[in-house]
Amino acid sequence: MQRIRLRYTKRGRLRFTSHRDFQRAFERALRRAEVPMAYSAGFTPHPKVSYANAAPTGTGSEAEYLEIALTAPRDPERLRSLLDASLPAGLDVIDAVEARTPGLADRLTASVWELRLDGVDPAEAERAVAAFNAAETVEVQRLTKNGMRTFDARPAVVSLQSVTPHESAADGPIDQPCAILRLVVRHVTPAVRPDDVLSGLSAVADLAPPVPAAVTRLAQGLLDDETGAVTDPLAPDREADPAAPAASTGAADAATAKAPA
């Protein structure tokens, strides 16, 4: 079997699709694109698709990953184009490589998030960020299926800072007070999500946005502790391709996000 790894996005209104909704849409796209999928055994065979660390419903993302298994070889870029054309706008397949190394999920150890806080003065946000960064512990609560859980969100946060609008990837004009935060968080257990960090900002500095934050994942991959970068998880597969040029590709460069200082 050939295995192909894909990077896709959730943009605009499609950020509100659940993971199950995306699975249905993607399996329809596989059929439309006539992809020679490998199927599981048993009474209810299903396409062999492995999803890795999907973003929560309601958050946008520029860096979602999955892997598919094929029964016949296909050119990754041609396959990417066919699948992208078969999905609705907003669910965009933007990168594809042949899997040549093991452990894609193991390389997703951190995420870079952007939080747009409409109605929040940037100076107020900077004050809250400074209080969060100075805190040794930031206890937050989350309602789980087993009841309310309290945990410390601070250790998972590698960096948190306020950025200016021109540094932001947010869509649309900013014609009112608006704070934009850049967050780098490790993938730990229990998972610390952007809304947990917002709860932490409320706890340490009484930061309370008047409307829900618009949250977008900009990148996810392996965290380099030395450089503070979240690196492209597909880069090892490109480097292992004997036909690939020695220099890094533009897609690999675009998928690497520098953590704030």
Quick one: which of 131, 129, 125, 204 has its CA closest to 165? 125
In angstroms, the CA 62 to CA 9 distance is 5
77-93: b (≥16 Cβ within 10 Å) or e: eebbebbbebbeeebbb
Residue 208 belongs to domain with CATH number = 3.30.70
pTM for the structure as a whole: 0.88
The pLDDT value given to residue 246: 54
> What is the pLDDT of the chain when averaged over all its residues?
89
Q: How many Å separate Cα 113 from the centre of its chain?
A: 8
Do 127 and 94 lie in one domain? The reply is: no
At 250, which helix (H) or strand (E)?
helix 250-254
Residue 59 belongs to domain with CATH number = 3.30.70.580
The pair of three-digit structure tokens given for residue 211, joined into one six-digit string = 């409307």
Do 92 and 19 lie in one domain? The reply is: yes
Residues 125-141 have a mean pLDDT of 96
pLDDT for residue 252 is more than 50: no
Residues 239-249 have a mean pLDDT of 68
Do 195 and 151 lie in one domain? The reply is: yes
Asked if 237 and 65 touch (Cβ cutoff 8 Å), the reply is no
In angstroms, the CA 257 to CA 238 distance is 18
pLDDT for residue 4 is more than 90: yes
Least confident range from 20-29, 86-95, 97-106, 238-247: namely 238-247
Do 126 and 171 lie in one domain? The reply is: yes
In angstroms, the CA 129 to CA 123 distance is 10
In angstroms, the CA 198 to CA 131 distance is 13
Residues 173-180 have a mean pLDDT of 78
Do 123 and 86 lie in one domain? The reply is: no
The pLDDT value given to residue 171: 52
Residues 143-158 have a mean pLDDT of 90
Do 79 and 127 lie in one domain? The reply is: no
Do 116 and 95 lie in one domain? The reply is: no
Residues 143-165 have a mean pLDDT of 90
Range of the domain at 74: 2-99
The pLDDT value given to residue 247: 44
Q: With cut-offs at 50, 70 and 90, classify the pLDDT of residue 248.
A: very low
- The residue ranking higher by pLDDT, 249 or 58, is 58
Cα dihedral 19, 17, 163, 150 sign: negative
Provide the number of structural domains found in the chain. 2
The pLDDT value given to residue 250: 41
